[in-house]
C-alpha cells in the first residue's frame, strides 16, 4: 500500500504541476513603450548619419593654436596609444552598450595633451592669455642683451662732413633771403670751422652782426679775419666803417693807414680825413685817385675842395676846371664848380 500511495502522490504532484503550467498567463506587453523605443532608434540612426556626414576627418580637424602640424599628429598618436583605464565597474559587455557618435575633440583638449606629452621647452618671460586664465605664468628665461652701438651725431669738426663749403654759401644766402639771421650765423660758424683759412664766412658773419647792431661781436670777428688775411683791404674797410658808425673816426683812419691803390679805400680814407680836417691826407689820396683815373669826377671835386681849404688856389682852380669839363649832365655839380671858379678868380685878382 505504501508503494501505491507513493505512486498516487507522485501522480497528484505531476497533475498539480501540469495544471499550474497550463493555467500560466504571460504578462501583457506594455504597448506604451513601443513608440518610445521607435523614436529612440530613429534618433540614434539620425545621429549616426550626422556623424558620418558632418564630423570632419582627422586631417581636416583644426590645428590647435601655437602648435605645428607634426606636433599635433604626435600628440594624437600619444593619446591613441595610451592604455585604457580598466576598472571594476567596466565589466559590461561591449555588445550590450549602444554605440554613441564620437564627440569632436576641442582645441583646448589637444593643447593640453600636447603640453603633457611633449618635453618641456624653455619659454620667454611672457605670459599668454591662456596661462593668465589658468593663473599660471611661464618660466623666466634670462637672455643676454646685445649692446647697440650709438649712431655718431654729425659735427662740422669731423673729418667727413655732409655739407661742403660751396653748399654753405648757398645755405647762408637762402637763410639771409628769408631774414633768418640766427640760422645764417650758425651756418657761418660751421663754415668757419670747416674752412679756417677762408675769410669770406668771417666777413659775412661780421656783416650780419654789424647789421643787427652787435658791434663788439662784429669787431672781434673782423680782428680775427684781419689776422688771417693781412693783405685783404676789404677787411680794413669793414673795420673803418664799423668805427665810423660808432663815432671813432680816428680809429677808422688808423684801420686804413696802409699803402693801397684801391679806389674804394682811397675815397673812403680821403673822406674821413676831410671830415676830421686832415686835409693833407685827403689831398694826397685825391691826387693819387686822379692819377689812377683821369675821368674820376668825384676825385677831382674832392681835390678842388680840399685844395681850396688848404689855400692852394692854383691847384683848386685847376681841379674845378676839370670838374666843369667832366660834369656833363650833372648840372648841380657843374654850377657849383663854376661858382667857385668865379670866387677863386676874384681872390686871385685881389692877391695880384
Query: pLDDT per residue over 160-174, tens digit each?
Result: 457 888 899 999 999
Taking residues 95-107, what's their average pLDDT?
45
pLDDT for residue 57? 53
Q: Let me know whether 272 and 337 are in one domain.
A: yes
Same domain for 243 and 297: no
- Of 289, 219, 206, which is closest to residue 252 (Cα–Cα)? 219
What pLDDT is attached to residue 32? 62
Task: Give me the sign of the Cα torsion angle 252, 258, 259, 264.
Answer: negative
183 in the same domain as 193: yes
| Per-residue model confidence as pLDDT tens digits over 22-48 | 454 555 555 566 677 778 888 888 777
- Structural domain contains residue 286: yes
**Comparing 44-48, 104-108, 224-228, 267-271, which segment has the lowest mean pLDDT?**
104-108
pLDDT exceeds 60 at position 152: no
Same domain, 267 and 348: yes
Q: Is residue 104 part of a domain?
A: no
Residue 326's CB is within 10 A of a number of other CB atoms, namely 18
Q: Is the pTM of this model over 0.75?
A: no
Q: Using 50, 70 and 90 to split pLDDT, how confident is the model at 18? A: low
Question: Closest Cα to residue 337, out of 309, 316, 351?
Answer: 316
Q: Using one digit for the tens of pLDDT, what is the confidence trace for 263-290?
A: 999 999 999 999 999 999 999 999 999 9
Q: Print the domain residue range for 282.
A: 260-352
Contact 62, 107 (CB under 8 A): yes
Instruction: State whether 165 and 200 are in the same domain.
Output: yes
Residue 247 lies in a domain: yes
Does residue 147 lie in a domain region?
Answer: no
User: 231, 258, 285 — which closes off a domain?
Assistant: 258
Work out how many domains the chain is built from and give that number.
2
Arithmetic mean of pLDDT, 305-321: 94
pLDDT at 55 over 70: no
- 129: pLDDT strictly greater than 80: no
- Residue 138 pLDDT > 70: no
Grade residue 126 by pLDDT with cuts at 50, 70 and 90. very low
pLDDT at 158 over 60: no
Is 60 exceeded by the pLDDT of residue 119? no
Q: Is residue 180 part of a domain?
A: yes
Note the pLDDT of residue 88: 38
**Which of 224, 258, 292 is the C-terminal boundary of a domain?**
258
| pLDDT tops 90 at residue 177 | yes
Q: Same domain, yes or no, for 202 and 272?
A: no
Please report where in the chains the cell 506594455 appears, as a residue. Answer: 30
Residue 349 shares a structural domain with residue 265? yes
Confidence of residue 336 (pLDDT cuts 50, 70, 90): very high
Q: Based on the domain organization, do 264 and 344 belong to the same domain?
A: yes
* Percent above pLDDT 90 for the chain: 45
Copy the grid coordinates of residue 228. Answer: 688771417
Is the pLDDT at 235 greater than 70? The verdict is yes
Q: Are residues 197 and 175 in the same domain?
A: yes
What SS3 string covers 55-112?
Answer: CCCHHHCCCCCCCCHHHHHHHHHHHHHCCCCCCHHHCCCHHHCCCCCCCCCCHHHHHH
Does residue 105 lie within any of the structural domains? no
**Does 250 share its domain with 264?**
no
- Residue 352 — pLDDT band, cuts 50, 70, 90? very low
Mean pLDDT (whole number) for 224-233: 88
Residue 66 has pLDDT above 50, yes or no: no
Is 268 inside any structural domain?
A: yes
Domain boundary among 258, 285, 302: 258
- Are 250 and 270 members of one domain? no
* Same structural domain, 241 and 302: no
Query: What CATH number is associated with residue 202?
Result: 1.25.40.10
Contact assessment for residue 192 and residue 218, using Cβ atoms and an 8 Å cutoff: no
C-beta of residue 195 within 8 angstroms of C-beta of residue 166: no
Q: Tell me the average pLDDT of the chain.
A: 74
Grid cell in block for residue 281: 691826407
In a domain, residue 52? The reply is no
Amino acid at each position: 500500500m505504501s508503494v501505491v500511495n507513493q505512486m498516487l502522490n507522485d501522480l497528484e504532484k505531476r497533475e498539480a504541476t501540469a495544471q499550474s503550467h497550463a493555467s500560466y498567463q504571460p504578462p501583457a506587453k506594455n504597448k506604451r513603450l513601443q513608440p518610445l523605443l521607435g523614436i529612440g532608434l530613429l534618433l540614434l540612426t539620425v545621429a549616426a548619419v550626422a556623424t558620418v556626414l558632418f564630423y570632419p576627418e582627422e586631417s581636416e580637424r583644426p590645428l590647435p593654436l601655437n602648435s605645428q602640424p607634426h606636433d599635433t599628429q604626435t600628440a594624437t598618436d600619444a593619446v591613441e596609444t595610451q592604455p585604457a583605464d580598466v576598472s571594476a565597474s567596466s565589466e559590461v559587455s561591449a555588445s550590450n552598450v549602444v554605440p554613441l557618435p564620437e564627440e569632436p575633440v576641442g582645441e583646448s583638449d589637444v593643447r593640453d595633451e600636447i603640453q603633457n606629452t611633449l618635453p618641456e621647452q624653455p619659454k620667454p618671460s611672457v605670459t599668454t592669455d591662456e596661462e593668465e586664465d589658468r593663473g599660471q605664468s611661464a618660466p623666466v628665461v634670462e637672455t643676454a642683451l646685445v649692446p647697440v652701438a650709438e649712431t655718431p651725431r654729425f659735427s662740422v669738426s669731423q673729418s667727413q662732413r655732409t655739407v661742403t663749403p660751396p653748399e654753405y654759401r648757398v645755405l647762408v644766402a637762402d637763410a639771409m633771403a628769408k631774414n633768418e639771421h640766427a640760422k645764417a650765423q650758425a651756418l657761418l660758424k660751421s663754415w668757419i670751422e670747416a674752412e679756417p683759412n677762408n675769410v669770406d664766412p668771417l666777413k659775412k658773419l661780421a656783416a650780419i652782426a654789424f647789421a643787427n647792431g652787435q658791434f663788439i661781436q662784429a669787431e672781434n670777428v673782423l680782428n680775427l679775419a684781419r689776422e688771417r688775411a693781412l693783405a685783404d683791404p676789404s677787411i680794413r674797410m669793414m673795420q673803418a666803417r664799423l668805427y665810423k658808425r660808432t663815432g671813432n673816426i680816428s680809429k677808422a683812419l688808423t684801420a686804413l693807414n696802409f699803402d693801397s691803390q684801391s679806389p674804394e679805400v682811397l675815397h673812403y680814407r680821403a673822406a674821413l680825413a676831410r671830415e676830421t680836417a686832415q686835409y693833407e691826407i685827403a689831398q694826397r689820396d685825391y691826387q693819387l685817385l686822379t692819377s689812377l683815373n683821369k675821368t674820376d669826377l668825384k676825385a677831382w671835386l674832392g681835390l678842388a675842395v680840399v685844395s681850396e681849404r688848404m689855400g692852394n688856389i692854383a691847384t683848386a682852380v685847376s681841379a674845378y676846371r676839370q670838374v666843369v669839363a667832366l660834369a656833363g649832365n650833372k648840372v648841380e655839380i657843374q654850377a657849383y664848380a663854376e661858382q667857385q671858379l668865379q670866387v677863386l678868380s676874384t681872390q686871385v685878382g685881389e692877391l695880384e
